[in-house]
Amino acid sequence: MGVAANRRQRTWTGYARKPKRGVPEGLWTRCEGCQATVFCKQVEQRLRVCPECDHHFYVPAHKRIEQLLDEGSFEEWFTDLQSVDPLQFEDRKPYAQRLVDEKEKTGLNEAAIVGRGFIKGRPLAIGITDSAFIMGSMASVVGEKLCRTIEMAEKEQLPVIIVSGSGGGARMHEGILSLMQMAKVSASLARYDQNNGLFISVLTNPTMGGVAASFASLGDVILAEPGAMVGFAGPRTILATVRLELPQGFQSSEFLMEHGFVDRIVHRNKLRSEIAHIIDYCGK
């Protein structure tokens, strides 16, 4: 074998022995809507919306604040409120430990963030529930935060925006103390309404259970993101209890729009402008 052939063989062998370079993690993701593999950076640039099918991905509460409110305008309220364990509840793990784990996982103190901010220069009070924290379920602290925010908005004559992303309903770990938050927040909104307050409810995926059955359905104007799952009991629960399969798209925001439960379906990139227009139209 000649010198040139030996050199080629050594070069080929060297390349073959080099470890393969894998694709770095976090560059691509699979869309839950169309199952396409999409570039993460492009999804983020489109406010976490799929560039292929317009599927609206989950958005964490802090990211939602960045998307909706004017930059640097958010002032968080009631950060000192912390959940406790009134029932000493335990399933796969003690509820107290579950709270610690959820705080570490999400960076949130609870399933709701509330405060004051501006949308295109318009002052407002805002609450956002996050499904990443025990499915955004309504615990005592969630209800208390929302009630206090509504009371502050009434005092300062601010419109209220609540962005619902809750798939867990009332939080079973707190029993009736959690369930009563449905009535408590609804009563706060009723008083706010009697004083001519403006409440805009924004439904995102998912908005289910006690949240959908209480404050999320009480907006003066109810907006929804495209394709959001909105309802009380989910399809699996209904199938397991009454042995009925729901019609295709039964609990989608489009179905609710068609039957008069939602006022408008708004793409995420138009939500800021839509809320600002509603506030102006209502003179708030």
Q: What is the mean pLDDT of residues 225-253?
A: 85
Q: Give the residue from 57, 75, 100 where a domain finishes.
A: 57
Q: Is the pLDDT of residue 7 over 80?
A: no
The verdict on 152 and 208 lying in the same domain is: yes
The verdict on 28 and 68 lying in the same domain is: no
- Percent pLDDT > 70 in the chain is 91
The verdict on 166 and 204 lying in the same domain is: yes
Distance CA(120)–CA(174), nearest Å, equals: 39
* DSSP code at position 157: T
The verdict on 145 and 260 lying in the same domain is: yes
The verdict on 89 and 33 lying in the same domain is: no
Q: What is the mean pLDDT of residues 232-243?
A: 81
Kindly indicate the confidence band of residue 25, based on its pLDDT and cuts at 50, 70 and 90. low
pLDDT tens-digit profile of 93-127? 999 999 999 999 999 999 999 999 999 999 999 99
The verdict on 109 and 36 lying in the same domain is: no
Taking alpha carbons only, the member of 135, 99, 129 closest to residue 114 is 129
- Percent pLDDT > 90 in the chain is 79
Residue 14 lies in a domain: no
Q: What is the mean pLDDT of residues 164-179?
A: 92
Lowest mean pLDDT among 31-45, 157-171, 240-254: 240-254
Half-sphere exposure of 38 (CA within 13 A, CB side): 23
What CATH number does the domain containing 67 carry? 3.90.226.10
How many domains does the chain contain in total?
2
Which structural domain range is residue 106 located in? 58-281
Kindly indicate the confidence band of residue 247, based on its pLDDT and cuts at 50, 70 and 90. confident
Distance CA(140)–CA(112), nearest Å, equals: 11
Residue 173 lies in a domain: yes
Question: Which pLDDT score, from 0 to 100, does residue 117 have?
Answer: 98
Question: Which pLDDT score, from 0 to 100, does residue 9 have?
Answer: 55
Beta strands in the chain (DSSP E): 28-30, 37-39, 75-76, 112-119, 122-129, 160-166, 199-207, 221-224, 264-265
Lowest mean pLDDT among 18-27, 87-96, 140-149, 234-243: 18-27
The verdict on 98 and 230 lying in the same domain is: yes
Question: Which pLDDT score, from 0 to 100, does residue 23 have?
Answer: 53
Q: Give the residue from 57, 82, 104 where a domain finishes.
A: 57
How high does pLDDT run on average in the chain?
91
The verdict on 132 and 26 lying in the same domain is: no
pLDDT tens-digit profile of 191-236? 999 999 999 999 999 999 999 999 999 999 999 999 999 998 877 7
The verdict on 44 and 66 lying in the same domain is: no
Residue 16 lies in a domain: no
Q: Give the residue from 39, 57, 75 where a domain finishes.
A: 57
Question: Which pLDDT score, from 0 to 100, does residue 168 have?
Answer: 79
Taking alpha carbons only, the member of 218, 223, 208 closest to residue 68 is 223
